[in-house]
Amino acid sequence: MRHLFSFLCITLFALTFTFAQNIKSPSEFLGYDIGTQFSRHHQVVDYFKSVSETLPNQVILETYGKTNERRSLYLAYVSSEENLKNLEIIRENNLKNAGLLEGRPTSTEVAIVWLSYNVHGNEASSSEASMLTLYKLLTERKELLKNTIVIIDPCINPDGRDRYVNWYNETASQPYDIDQQASEHKEPWPGGRPNHYLFDLNRDWLWATQTESTLRLKAYNKWMPHIHVDFHEQGINEPYYFAPAAEPFHEIISDWQRDFQTEIGKNHTKYFDAEGWLFYTRERYDLFYPSYGDTYPTYMGAIGMTYEQGGHGRAGLGILNDEGHVLTLVERLTHHTTTGLSTIEMASKNATKLNSEFAKFFDNSDLKYKSYVLKGNEDKLNSLKKLLTKHEIVYENPTSSKVSGYDYNSGKQGSMSVNPNALVVHTSQPKGKMVKVLFEPNAKLSDSLTYDITAWSLPYAYGLDAIASNSKVASSKQFERSEFQVMYEAYGYVSKWNSLKDAQFLADLLKNKFKVRFTERSFSSNGKKFERGSLIITKGDNAHLSDFLGNLNNLVSKHSQPLTKINSGFSQTTPDIGSPDIKLINNQKVAILSGDGTSSLSYGAIWHFFEQQLHYPLTSINTDNFSSTNLSKYNVLILPNGYYGSVLNDANMKKLKNWVRSGGKVIAIDGALRSFAGKEGFSLKYKSSDTDTSNNNVENNNLTPYADREREYTNNLITGAIFKTKVDHTHPMAFGYDNDYFSLKLGSSAYNLLESGYNVAHLKDTKVYSGFAGKNALKNLDKTLVFGEERMGSGSFIYMADNPMFRSFWENGKLFLVNSIFFVNNNAFEL
């Protein structure tokens, strides 16, 4: 037995040894030299599988879910045998070190590095680099794994990557053509950058509206790495970019986080200098907007970084750039492999320090605001709770009845009465810094030159009243309660109307063939008052349904939707249920324009909203086919943000107007308003457009020094700032809203109030509640249109100058779109 045992051990050892020798390089495995072809997602995955099967003690590959197009998402855990045996203990030690798990860590010697590749699908060199990085790590740089766990996500966005790679493979010449004008360098709409629903996943870490983000966050929060790298690509003429990042930095970023990314950058420099490669640092990519792959990890305690290689969807396998250099895929992936390995090297060298500094980040005793208290519509509070849960942020309910501090609604110190249903979020929790980032009224900008929105404060985005308190508000955890109640026989039932949840309930009623009414005036019945927009479902309207009450109760239960029963069509205060002011809701046929001319992001956000949030059918019409489209099949046409100059030529504009005159409804969003502003037959007029730079010159008499040109230009910009609008909530577009609505303004375009038409929401003044707005841009915003309706014949043009669907995180704006579809100018006509 003993002999046999020894023999087995020797054999096993020999086998392990042989396996270690046998992992194939990516080129051997793929059958082509890496970088000479684009690998499809499944080939990348197959390589990782083959390595983990060959070295199961050093590479564990696990799937963490599937994309919308059913491609699997993977994480590879790469380390020494010893570490992988203790993987769970190392993970728990790390959470204990941060205070995210009870108990003291038994050891804090191992660094955790997370490398994320190909978040933008057409920045396709990085998934290739992920394979080479894995191979080199396990062969040439094994020593780094002694005290490092490397977590590799070879492709964050497989749907986008394959969209790009499949297009490239079917388009490119052989050999590849380096001419910039060749079709292999001109990706068609929408390009491979975004995911299936055309969301930019590098803007979605925090809002987690997309399935890839939600799934990734679960794994991320389980691990909480010390370093996170997001690999990207930029224009073909740009040299490589790596950390340190550019200003502005968010103020919660610690000195250690600033310093260590500089150290990492210096380590990369060593390798780049040795090869004579060009690179730059500290310019362009800032650390402020919290929803990126560098800032999100940073606000969760990591050293979060973006690395940018020149290339992206234009470069293909090779391209002659403007500097006369032939940029190849081989070169691009070599650079990304170099910085990946250099990052791991720095983690390994500084593992102990990374652990001790990581622990310090989670001490939040210095934060100014100790608690954020929110109250308002229960559905909105619930959807905020869902968001907090995705980030494993803890919330409670207040035990006092009044709180004071900074009042979000007035923008001044104030107080607010609260009941136990209100929400309290403390900063004295491990993720307190992220709490601050999410809730603080106005994030401090160290520099106005940022290339993204500068405001996102959640109380405004969710439409909740809020107080930020300097002292910790007393609170306790309460049980969640369910609203659902079975409905019994009655004349009819009324549902409130003030949240997206109510809209989802309506969409489901319509899908199930219910006839539903809404009221244009408030009324009371059975001693209860019902506000404008309330839904009314009567027995009489629904006689066509075989089991009206049973079906209704199914939907009430599915949506936990509270209904109020009414016993008679006679109201205590009018209108009665049969009044012309209580209108039948039409099962609207909604179409949207997509394709060339439309913003793929804006189109994608609405597409996702209909399919995954509202659950209501939407027909997408390509702009190429607009002139041959029979519009009479639809009640509503949505024009997402875009440039419609070539689509809405004279003939098509005439067609559109005729359709509207006969009862059609156009909903124009953001840039789509340009198609109508100042045009014949429209009362929509520009006050100023965002392409108008004349203000700059008037202000400065052209004396701006050349070196300040970029900074001076920011005076004309609004890059996502929050303003308070005045709302006409008697208009059906605003049913369910109050007098005030906080809007996220994304640009400086401004439209005058409509002279003939309804100004549903407008800016009364130019006070900025949160974010950055340049002084010149602000001058033009006074008394301008935010949402409005203009009638033409029997139909309407609905204008949304601010885009509430932007990145799908401005929860409180979405009902304006739903109202526009179902309530505004309700003709109740069936097609």
Q: Which residues bind Zn ion (CB under 5 A)?
A: 120, 123, 232
β-strand pairing of 279-280 with 240-241:
parallel
Instruction: Report the residue number whose CB is nearest to Zn ion.
Output: 232
d(CA 213, CA 33): 32
Beta carbon of residue 293, minimum distance to Zn ion (angstroms, whole number): 9
Rounded to whole angstroms, the maximal C-alpha distance in the chain is 98
Residue 203: count other Cβ atoms within 10 Å of its Cβ: 23
Phi-psi category of 357—alpha, beta or left, where left has phi over 0 and alpha has psi -120 to 50? alpha
Identity of the residue, 124 or 605, whose beta carbon is nearer to Zn ion in the bound complex? 124
Task: Answer for the pair 806, 605: CB distance below 8 angstroms, yes or no.
Answer: yes
At 339, list the tokens. Answer: 């910085």
Whose tokens are 């939600």? That residue is: 214
Identity of the residue, 123 or 238, whose beta carbon is nearer to Zn ion in the bound complex? 123
Residue 30: count other Cβ atoms within 10 Å of its Cβ: 19
d(CA 747, CA 452): 11
Beta carbon of residue 120, minimum distance to Zn ion (angstroms, whole number): 4
Residue 333 belongs to what H/E stretch? helix 329-349
d(CA 160, CA 120): 7
Strands (E), 140-191: 148-153
Identity of the residue, 41 or 431, whose beta carbon is nearer to Zn ion in the bound complex? 41
Task: Answer for the pair 115, 340: CB distance below 8 angstroms, yes or no.
Answer: yes
Whose tokens are 């934060």? That residue is: 367
d(CA 675, CA 194): 26
Beta carbon of residue 642, minimum distance to Zn ion (angstroms, whole number): 22
Torsion of CA 428, 430, 434, 440, to 10 degrees: 0
Phi-psi category of 564—alpha, beta or left, where left has phi over 0 and alpha has psi -120 to 50? beta
Task: Answer for the pair 25, 50: CB distance below 8 angstroms, yes or no.
Answer: no
Torsion of CA 688, 693, 695, 700, to 10 degrees: 170
Name the residue among 94, 110, 655 with its Cα closest to residue 350.
Answer: 110
Task: Answer for the pair 771, 719: CB distance below 8 angstroms, yes or no.
Answer: yes
Identity of the residue, 116 or 594, whose beta carbon is nearer to Zn ion in the bound complex? 116
d(CA 481, CA 12): 57
d(CA 640, CA 620): 11
Cα radius of gyration rounded to whole Å, the chain? 29
DSSP structure class, residue 648: S
Main-chain dihedrals φ then ψ at residue 33, nearest 5 degrees? -65, 130
Task: Answer for the pair 307, 230: CB distance below 8 angstroms, yes or no.
Answer: yes
Task: Answer for the pair 217, 390: CB distance below 8 angstroms, yes or no.
Answer: yes
Secondary structure string (H, E, C) spanning 518-547:
EECCCEEECCEEECCCCEEEECHHHCCCCC
d(CA 3, CA 7): 6
Q: Beta partners for 144? A: none
Task: Answer for the pair 404, 733: CB distance below 8 angstroms, yes or no.
Answer: no
How many angstroms separate the Cα of 250 from the Cα of each of 217, 281, 446, 447?
A: 21, 18, 7, 10
At 154, list the tokens. Answer: 């070879």
For 272-299, letters b (16+ CB in 10 Å) and e give: beeeebebebeeebbbbbbbbbbbbbbb
d(CA 675, CA 683): 12
How many angstroms separate the Cα of 117 from the Cα of each of 127, 520, 600?
A: 6, 51, 22
Identity of the residue, 123 or 811, whose beta carbon is nearer to Zn ion in the bound complex? 123
Beta carbon of residue 493, minimum distance to Zn ion (angstroms, whole number): 50
Residue 540 is which amino acid? G
Beta carbon of residue 343, minimum distance to Zn ion (angstroms, whole number): 17
Alpha helices (H) in 181-323, listed in sequence order: 211-223, 255-275, 295-299, 312-315
Identity of the residue, 232 or 370, whose beta carbon is nearer to Zn ion in the bound complex? 232
At 587, list the tokens. Answer: 């099962």
